[in-house]
Amino acid sequence: MSRLPEFHAAKWDEPVIMELGRPGGRGQIFPKPESEIEAEVGADLIPAGMARKDRPALPEITEFEAQRHYLHLSQMTLGMMGVSLFGTCTMKYNSKTSEYATLRPELAEVHPYQHPDTLQGVMGIVHDFDHMLRSLSGMDQFIFQAGGGADAAYTMAIVARAYWADRGMLDQRTEMVTSIQAHPCNPATAAAAGFKVVNLPLEENGYPSLDALKAAVSDKTALIMINNPDDMGIYNPEIKEWVRVAKEAGALCFYDHANFNGVMGKLSARELGFDACMFMLHKTFGAPKAGGGPAVGAFGCSDELAPYLPCPVVAKSGDKYILDEDRPKSAGKVREFWGNIPQVVKAYAWARGMGAEGINLASDISVVANNYMDKRLSEIPGLAISNPHISANRMEMTRWSFAPFAKKPASEQLISPIAWRTTASTPSG
Amino acid sequence: MPTETKSHPWMALSAPGAIDDMLKTIGVSKVADLFEQIPQDHYRKKPLDMPPALTSEMELRRDLVTRLKQNGDCESNLSFLGAGVWQHHVPAIVDEIVGRTEFATNVWGSYQSDHGRNQAWFEFSSQLGALLNLDVVQLPVYSWGCAIGHAMRMAARITGRSKVLVPQLSDPERLSVIKTYCQPTEMDDSIEVVMVAADPATGRLDLSDLKSKLGSDIAAVYFENPGYLGTIETEAAEIAKMTRAAGAETIVGVDPSSLGVMTAPGDYGADIVTGPVQPLGVHMQCGGGAGGFIASRDEERYVHNYNGFLVSIADTARSGEFGFGLACPHQNSYGMREDGNDWTGNSTYLWAIAGAVYMSLLGPEGFAELGRLIVSRARYAARLLDEIAGVKVMWPDGHFKEFVVNFDGTGRTVSDINDALRAKGIFGGKDISEEGLNLGQSALYCVTEVHTAADIRRLADTLREILA
């Protein structure tokens, strides 16, 4: 069977919401305040100077119209609960069981400032999931405050800032080293945190050379940020040496685990020498990406960096879970509260559903499937793998070039949607 | 021998034989051959320590539900907690739409494939712009605090100055995020955060203190309306005027649930406006519902300084047709890495869709009703609590949905009182007595449209009983 299935989103001739409805249309009605309230407080409770006089130019539509309109918009979206071949995002099937669980009021209608005694369920899940990530990475403590992979990279930057400030060396350790292949969030967050960015170029083998790294790191280097496999799917076999060189120069080493999918269960960031790492729960751990969040960048680090973590940290004291806010060396918060907790619960559910064996198998399958896809794509005339001279297997992702197609007449530029989606760049982090 | 796998419900290619078929096509004999790039000494030595797998959905569901049921929630208890996450009514249609697989997807689609999502995002920005009376609204960032941080950095880029003024009575949670974004002073391009005193009689910004601190080194003045402690900033236009005269930007934080009854910030001179998206149809989710918006007038100085995604509408090549796409897409970190405006990443865009649906359902009348209901119920609660012996409501007539209740006259601590309330199924206001605000034993109470008159009387009666 060699039929190429076609798919495309529904196309409605859907007006913009502002064009719908008519004056007086209502999609939601709130009750009037009870009579005893009106009698007690009266009307006109907003001071005259601050009372709104105009009517906001919002649509006036019925509930039915709102539902139909937004259903149409969802149907005009190819987002799906199935296969995505987008590069670094490593999206995977998201189970409906975890969705169901997080919609329950025991989580949806929970306030982060409730007394910890009333949050034992969710804190227990956070605590246990922290321990699963510790096992997967070798790190000593995880937090979930970061709202995405980029926010986790930012967390690393501010933790590094606090670490060097605590040693009185922030004016000396001013540089961050990464590769030109790294996701933009690595250099951008380090720059936003005040570090000067050094980007290493790629060499012939698909990753920067050790010599380039040695030339870049010095006693000015505050931290290095690396992903591996990188965004071309190539694993840098010299990574241990990289970490050794960076640490010899005194730098902190951050493993951006955006591409963990291909190696999960097989590597430990800590055993490779890293001080900290991050996992994207909204991708690697089976929580939905949701068109760009709510996401979670789980940030884990060694005991040495733990004092600088943003608060709160969920901990266990005797039989009870507690929120540890008493961390005087904390770098400060990157975001309010503890994080996108439903996504953490979904990631916990995924990890529980998979177990150690399932996680290992998922990594096997992703690497096999990636190479299978590469093989099949290579059979399409005119489609070329990027950097064809590199013989290494592309793990978990690949880049392909459409350059040969571009030279063909437009009528012959028929590209399978699968091939297109494989190579298109994607916002990530 | 085929590679041994045990089929897992979540992985299509886990069915027996699937891996072998692919290996055959690839032309290698075993899975390990594909990992040849990883040196042997890189493989982990310590075995994974994970709890046993719950591959049966039935078992997994039981585990999740059993654990979550150990929480107390704000539906089965009566809660008066706010301070950054608030209990509001979420219309059922909002849950229906954000739960749609196409939106709550595992996929990041392309702009070409996700025309509907782009339109929903555009409609979020447009409707929120109508509430704010501003024309540019960026897709939301991680939280309100993050939005303020980005806005301050925008102001610093625009003015070339490096000091911001912030109210003394600020939420410590948001303030911590703001300080993170503004950096410690050791860094070259740090922004100094300077506090402006509050008028003790009103809780509002002390304008004389503000005036004394406004100089040619100030990039921005930030204030909230309503403020952290619920107070309405009646001199907002005057603050904006003073700020502009000093050549600084006025950054305002607003609660969108107030904008049916309170003046839009675009009408009193705000330059950059931030706020939370959670009140726009997102459940609290233990703080997981957080998200923050940033908005401004449609002027180049602002538009070219946004850090994230701006969704715009434009005519297509076909007459009468329009489409949606990103405006100024290359100015953020995706386009320019470390040279872009600040940085961005996955954020909270699903909440933009929730917000779009929510705002469309309410319309102008819904927002007016909502605002009137909240302010009436909150004011009623403040009156009832103020009547209790030893209990004093600070600034009783100048707040929107939150207000400060002081318990100094009872001789009891907030912590103690909240424990007693909790034993009776009530979550009292947030304890702010340790927040350095000099307000004694005080709690920040939040009353919204979900609280009925009977709920409020139950709170007052229970407090009276506890304090007797």
Structure-derived torsion over alpha carbons of residues A343, A345, A350, A352, reported in degrees to the nearest 10 = 160
Please name which of B252, B237, B292, B247 lies closest in space to residue B156, comparing C-alpha atoms: B247
Residue A216 inside a domain? The answer is yes
DSSP string, B247-311: T-EEEEEE-GGGTTTB--GGGTT-SEEEEESTTTT---GGGTT--EEEEE-S-HHHHTT--S-EE
Residue with tokens 């929970």: A110
What residues of chain B lie within 8 A of the CB of A234, using their CB? Answer: 37
Those residues with Cβ within 8 angstroms of residue B109's Cβ, 6 or more apart along the chain or in another chain: A77, A78, A79, A291, B117
Question: Are B345 and A185 within 8 A, CB to CB?
Answer: yes
Whether B316 has a pLDDT exceeding 90, the answer reads no
The single-letter code of the amino acid at B6 is K
Mean pLDDT is lowest, of A305-314, A405-414, B367-376, for A405-414
d(CA B66, CA B57) in angstroms, rounded, equals 14
CA distance A7 to chain B (A): 10
| Strand bridging mode A252-256 / A276-280 | parallel
Residues 256-295 of B with CB under 8 A from A: 259-264, 267, 283-288, 290-291
Task: Let me know if residue A192 belongs to a domain.
Answer: yes
pLDDT of residue B187: 82
At B392, is the secondary structure helix, strand, or coil? strand
- Asked whether A272 and A243 are in contact (CB, 8 A), the reply is yes
CB contact under 8 A, B376 and A45: yes
- B17 at interface of A, judged by CB pairs closer than 8 A: no
Task: Answer whether residue A162 shows pLDDT above 80.
Answer: yes
* Closest-approach residue (CA) in chain A for B147: A335
Q: Which residues of B touch A9 (CB under 8 A)?
A: 113-116
pLDDT at A6: 63
Q: Does residue A422 register a pLDDT over 70?
A: no
CA distances from B414 to B79, B250, B391, B427, B447 (A): 15, 35, 11, 12, 18
Collapsing DSSP states into helix, strand and coil, what is residue A51?
strand
Instruction: For this complex, say whether ipTM is above 0.90.
Output: yes
Higher pLDDT, A359 or B322: A359
Question: B246: distance to nearest CA of chain A, Å?
Answer: 23
Predicted pLDDT of residue A410: 58
The confidence score (pLDDT) of residue B106 equals 85
Interface residue A356 vs chain B (CB under 8 A): yes
Domain that holds residue A23: 11-78
Judge: B107–A43 Cβ closer than 8 Å, yes or no: no
Mutate: best of B6, B57, B65, B107, partner A, most A CBs <10 A: B107
pLDDT at B5: 63
pLDDT band at A2 (very low <50, low <70, confident <90, very high): low
Asked whether the predicted pLDDT for residue A195 surpasses 60, the reply is: yes
Output the average pLDDT for chain A: 90
Question: Does residue A380 form part of some domain?
Answer: no
Average pLDDT over residues A44-73: 96
Backbone dihedral angles phi then psi of residue B352, each to the nearest 5 degrees? -65, -35
- The CATH architecture assigned to B78-89+364-467 reads Alpha-Beta Complex (3.90)
List beta partners, residue A420: none
B35 has a pLDDT exceeding 50: yes
Residues A41 and A155 in one domain: no
Residues B164-175, mean pLDDT to the nearest whole number: 98
Identify the residue among B105, B144, B171, B348 best suited for mutation to test binding to A, counting A beta carbons within 10 A and taking the highest.
Answer: B105
On whether any CB of chain A is under 8 Å from the CB of B130, the answer is yes
A231: confidence class by pLDDT, cuts 50, 70, 90: confident
In this prediction, residues A411-426 reach a mean pLDDT of 41
A269 touching chain B per CB within 8 A:
no
- Indicate whether B241 pLDDT > 60: yes
Q: Which of A305, A327, A353 is at the close of a domain?
A: A353
Contact residues, chain B, for A343 at CB < 8 Å: 288
Q: Do A196 and A277 share a domain, yes or no?
A: yes
Mean pLDDT of the A359-379 span? 93
Contact A336 B173 (CB under 8 A): yes
Counting residues of chain A whose pLDDT is more than 90, the rounded percentage is 75
Is residue A261 one of the residues assigned to a domain?
Answer: yes
Residues A39 and A121 reside in one and the same domain: no
Task: State the pLDDT confidence band at A417, using cuts at 50, 70 and 90.
Answer: very low
B111 in contact with A, Cβ within 8 Å: no
| Dihedral sign computed on CA atoms, order A45, A50, A53, A55 | negative
Secondary structure class of B70 (helix, strand, coil): coil
A243 and A342 inside one domain: yes
Q: Within this chain, do residues A339 and A200 fall inside the same structural domain, yes or no? A: yes
Which of B6-15, B220-229, B269-278 comes out lowest in average pLDDT?
B6-15
CB spacing of A107 vs B71 below 8 angstroms: yes
Q: Are residues A129 and A18 in the same domain?
A: no
Chain B nearest CA to A27, separation (Å): 4
3-state secondary structure (DSSP) of residue B442: strand
Q: What percent of chain B has pLDDT over 90?
A: 89
Does the structure show a pLDDT above 90 at B143?
yes
Q: From the CA atom positions of chain A, what is the Rg in Å?
A: 25
Q: Which of A11, A37, A291 is nearest residue B105 as measured by Cβ atoms?
A: A291
Please report, rounded to a whole number, the percentage of residues in chain B having pLDDT higher than 70.
99
Numbers of helices and strands, H then E, in chain A = 12, 11
Contacts of A127 (CB under 8 A, 6+ apart): A314, A315, A316, A321
Of A353, A379, A405, at which residue does a domain stop? A353
3-state secondary structure A356-374: HHHHHHHHHHHHHHHHHHH
Is A32 part of the contact surface with chain B (CB cutoff 8 Å)?
yes
A292-351 residues touching B, CB cutoff 8 A: 292-295, 310, 331-343, 345, 349-351
Give yes or no for A365 touching B (CB within 8 A).
yes
Closest-CA residue of B relative to A159 is B180
Residues A285 and A160 in one domain: yes
Q: Is the pLDDT of residue A421 over 60?
A: no
B410-430 pLDDT, tens per residue? 999 999 999 999 999 999 999
| Cα–Cα dist A35/A37, whole Å | 5
Residues A236 and A179 in one domain: yes
Instruction: Indicate whether A122 and A163 sit together in one domain.
Output: yes
How far is the alpha carbon of B183 from chain A, nearest alpha carbon, in Å?
7
Which of B19, B153, B344 is the closest to A364 by Cβ? B19
- The verdict on A20 and A117 lying in the same domain is no
pLDDT at A429 over 80: no
pLDDT of residue A409: 62
Instruction: Give the separation between CA B23 and CA B11, rounded to whole angstroms.
Output: 17
pLDDT band at A294, cuts 50/70/90?
very high
The answer to whether residue A222 is domain-embedded is: yes
Per-residue CA distances from B373 to A24, A46, B369, B380 (Å): 19, 12, 6, 11
* Mean pLDDT value of segment B86-99: 97
Interface of B with A in 347-386 (CB under 8 A): 347-351, 353, 356-357, 359-373, 375-377, 379-380, 383
**Looking at the structure, do residues A44 and A175 belong to the same domain, yes or no?**
no
Chain A residue closest in CA terms to B276? A336
Confidence at residue A4, expressed as pLDDT on a 0 to 100 scale: 60
Q: Reply yes or no on whether the pLDDT at A412 is more than 60.
A: no
Question: Per the structure, how many domains does chain A have?
Answer: 2
pLDDT at A62 over 90: yes
A230-255 burial: b if 16+ Cβ within 10 Å, else e: bbbbbbbbbbeebbebbbebbbbbbb
In a domain, A224, yes or no: yes
Helix (H, G, I), strand (E, B) or coil at A230: coil
Question: Which CATH number characterizes residue A268's domain?
Answer: 3.40.640.10
- Whole-structure pTM value: 0.95
Same domain? For A253 and A329 the reply is yes
Inter-chain CB proximity A58 and B261 less than 8 Å: no
Place of tokens 């609590």: B385
For residue A135, the chain B residues in CB contact (below 8 A) are 48-50
The answer to whether residue A418 sits within a structural domain is: no
CATH of B92-358, one of 3.40.640.10, 3.40.50.150, 3.40.50.300, 3.30.390.10: 3.40.640.10
Quick one: closest CA in B to A40, which residue? B380
Residue A332 in any domain: the answer is yes
Closest residue, chain A, to B55 (C-alpha): A353
Q: Write down the mean pLDDT value for chain B.
A: 95
A347, A129 contact by CB (below 8 A): yes
Q: Do A234 and B430 touch (CB under 8 A)?
A: no
The 10s digit of each residue's pLDDT in A72-99 is 999 999 876 555 666 666 778 899 999 9
CB B403 within 8 A of CB B226: no
How many Å apart are CA A217 and CA A225, to the nearest integer? 12
* Last residue of one domain, picked from the residues A78, A105, A125: A78
Cα–Cα distance measured from residue A424 to residue A89, given in angstroms and rounded to the nearest whole number: 12
Q: How many CB pairs under 8 A join A and B?
A: 636
